[in-house]
Chains A and B, each alone.
Chain A
Amino acid sequence: MGRGTRGGGLGTRDSGFGPSAKSGPPRAGSRGGIRGVTLTAAAIFALLYLNHGAPGLQPRAHLAAQAPRPPARIVSLVPSATEMLFAMGAGPRVAAVSSYDRFPPEVERLPRVGALVDPDVERILSLRPDLVVAYASQTDLLAHLARANIPVYPYRHGSLAAITGGMRDLGARIGMAAEAGRAAADLERGLAGVRAAVAGRPRPRTLLVIGREPQSLRAISVSGGFGFLHDLLVVAGGDNVFGDVPRESLMVATETILAKRPDVILELHYSDRSSREAEAREREAWSLLPGVPAVRNGRIHLLYGGELVVPGPRVVLTARAFAQALHEVRPR
C-alpha cells in the first residue's frame, strides 16, 4: 500500500526534489513555452512514477531535477481557486481549504486553515502541502512558506477575463493544463450563451448594489466600472450606472442614486434566500426613493447565494441570474 500511494511515497521524498521544492513562489506572470515543456516532462515523470512505484525511482531521479512534479497536496486559501481546482478535476488533490470555502460540497470534509487575514501557518505546515494557493497580498504567509520551501501560487482577483485566465494558469501550474483549458472553455461558452441570449436587447441602466445596512438605505455600496461583477453585468446586457467610476466598489449617497435614475436595481445578498417577509422588507426599504425608475416600476431584484461573491467557475450562474432579472430570459 505504501509503495504506490502519493502520500507515503512522494511525501517522504520531498527533499529529494530540491529544484522543484526550493524554487520558491512562482511569478504570477511566468507562463508559456518553458512551463509547457517542464510540465510535459513532469507529467511523463508522474506517469512513470505511478506505473513503477517508489522503489523504481532511483534510475529516473535526473528527471526530477529537471522538472517540478505536479503538486499532489494543495492547500487553497482562496475560495475561487478552490472552485477552479475542483472544476478542472483536481479536487482529490486539495488537502485543505480556507475558512470561507463553501463550495463544492466536498470541501466540507477538508481541514480549514484560516483565510486572508488569519492564515493558520502552523496548520498549513503540518499538512505538508506541495503547493499553497494564497492571495498575493498575503506577503507574511508567502514569506513563511518560502522559508519552509513550500511552493506557492500567489492569486490575484481581477476582471472576468482574469477568472478564465487564472484558471488556465493554475491548471498549468498543477500539471492539468488540458483539463483547466476545457473547464475555462466551458465557462466562456456559458458566458457566450448569456451574451447571445441578451444580444440586441436594450441595455437597462442598472444599479448593482453589493451591500447596504439591512432594511435601510444607509451605507450603500455599489459596483463601479471595474471587477468581475461589473463585467458580468455587461455580459448580461446591463448598463452599469456607475460604470464610469474606475473602482471595483464605492459607497454612494442616496442623492447620487436619485440623480443616476437607474431603471433596474440588482441587489446581491451573499447569504441564502431568507424568508419571503424579510425579502419584502428589504425591497420595501427602497420605497424611500420613489423617483428612481427602478423603484417606481418595481424593478428591484434581490439575488441570493454564496456564488455571487466568488469570482470562480460559478460566475456563469451569476451572469444567468443577472440576465434573467434584467431581460427575463433564461440563457442555457
Chain B
Amino acid sequence: MTDVRRRLAVSTAAFGGLACAAVLAAPLLGTTSISLRRVFDGSIPFADNVDAQIFFIARLPRALAGALVGATLAAAGVVFQALLRNPLATPFTLGVSAGSALGAMLAITFRLHLSLWGVSAVTAASFIGSIGAVAIVYALARARHRGFSTNILLLAGVTLNAFFSALILFVQYLADSAEALRTVRWLMGDLDVAGYGPLVAALPLCAAAFVAFAWLPRPLNLLSLDTDAAASRGVDVLRVQRVAFFSASMATGAAVSLGGPIGFIGIIVPHLVRLMVGSDHRVVLPASAMFGAAFLVAADVVARTAMAPVELPVGIITAIVGGPFFLWLLVRQR
C-alpha cells in the first residue's frame, strides 16, 4: 500500500509536472514571437495588444483544449482496456468516435448553421452522434443478456464502427468537394478551438467522467483480472462496468466533439505509462491522464509550427511521433 502511495506520489509529481510545463510553455511557443511582458501589460488596451490576443485567444485555449482532450482520451483508453480486458481497446473501439464523426459529417455536409453558447453545429452534432452510438452499443450489450457482456459490447462496438464508417463514407460521397474536404480535415483532428466556448461546453462532461474515474481504479484492478474473482471479493461488477462504460464513453464523446477523433493517444499513452509505472490502475489512470495531456499539448505545438503557416492536423503528429516511440520503448524494455 505504501508502495502504491509512493509510486502515485512520484508519478503525479513527474507526470503532473510534465503536464503543467507543457500547458505553461505551449502558449509561449509559436511562429510569431510574442513578449510575455507585453502580454501581461495592462496599460495597453486588449484590442491593440496583439501579443496578448495571440496568447489569450489563439494559444491558451488551444493548449487547454489539448490538455483536456489528451487527458480524457488517455484516461478513457485505460478504462476501456480494463473494462474490455483487451490491451488493444481504445476510446474509439466501441464506436463512440464513429458516431461522433457521423454527427459532424452530417452537420458539415448539410450545412447546419446553428450555434449555442459558442458551440458550433458541428461540435454539437458530433456530441449527439457519440451519445447515439453509446446508446446503441449499450442497448445491444444489455439485450438478451442479464448482465453486461463485454464480448457482446466489443462485437457490437466493432460492428457499429464498421456500419458508421459506411454511413460516413456515404455522407461524404453526397457532399460537394469543399464540404468533403472539410469532413476529411475534421477526421484528422484540430485543437484550434478559437476561444473558450467549446472548452467550457466540454468541461462539465469531462469533469464528471473524471469524478467517476476517481472511483474506478480499485474495482478495475480486480475486474481486469476476472469478473468472477472480482464479484467474489465484493465488487458490484455490473455497476462498475456501467460506470466505466458510461463515464469513459461520455468523456470520449466530449473530447472528440472538441478536438476531433485524434488517434493513438488512447492506446499509446496508457501503454507507455504502464511500461513506466506498472499496471496498478490507481497509478496508471491518473498518470495516463497527466501524460496524455502533456503529450497532446506538445504534439499540437509541433502541429502548428512544423509547416507554418500551414497548419498540420494534430492527429498526424500523434500517430507519427507516438507509434515509433511506443515501439522503441517496447523493444528497449525486453
Question: Chain A interface (Cβ within 8 Å of chain B)?
Answer: 100, 116-118, 210-211, 213-219, 221, 242, 245, 247, 250-256, 258-259, 261, 270-271, 274, 278, 281, 288-291, 296, 309
Contact = CB atoms under 8 A, between A and B. Distances in A.
Contacts of A255: 30-32, 54, 58-59, 192, 304
Contacts of B59: 255
A261 B53 CA distance: 12
B331 interface: no
Given A214-B111, A214-B122, A255-B31, 20 more contacts: A211-B178, A211-B182, A213-B108, A213-B122, A215-B121, A217-B195, A218-B194, A219-B192, A221-B182, A251-B185, A252-B309, A253-B58, A256-B309, A256-B311, A259-B50, A261-B50, A271-B111, A288-B194, A291-B48, A291-B49
| Residue of A215, A255, A270, A288 contacting most chain B CB atoms (<10 Å) | A255
B224 interface: no
Contacts of B195: 217, 288
A217 B122 CA distance: 12
Interface in B296-325: 304, 308-311
A116 B175 CA distance: 12
Given A215-B120, A245-B310, A289 B57 contact: yes
A97 to B, nearest CB: 15
A213 B182 contact: yes
A201 to B, nearest CB: 26
B49 A251 contact: no
B177 interface: yes
B194 A278 contact: no
Given A213-B122, A217-B195, A258-B53, A251 B311 contact: yes
Interface residues of B, number: 44
Contacts of B112: 214
22 contacts: A215-B113, A216-B118, A216-B120, A218-B193, A218-B194, A219-B182, A219-B186, A221-B182, A250-B309, A250-B310, A252-B311, A253-B192, A253-B311, A254-B192, A255-B30, A255-B59, A258-B50, A258-B53, A258-B58, A281-B113, A290-B53, A296-B47
A215 B50 contact: no
Contacts of A221: 181-182
A254 B50 CA distance: 12
Interface string B170-191: 0001001110011001100010
Contacts of A288: 57, 194-195
Nearest to A250: B310
A329 to B, nearest CB: 29
B115 interface: yes
A116 to B, nearest CB: 7
B34 to A, nearest CB: 9
B304 A253 contact: yes
A216 to B, nearest CB: 4
A245 B309 CA distance: 8
Contacts of A214: 111-113, 115, 120-122
Contacts of A289: 53, 57
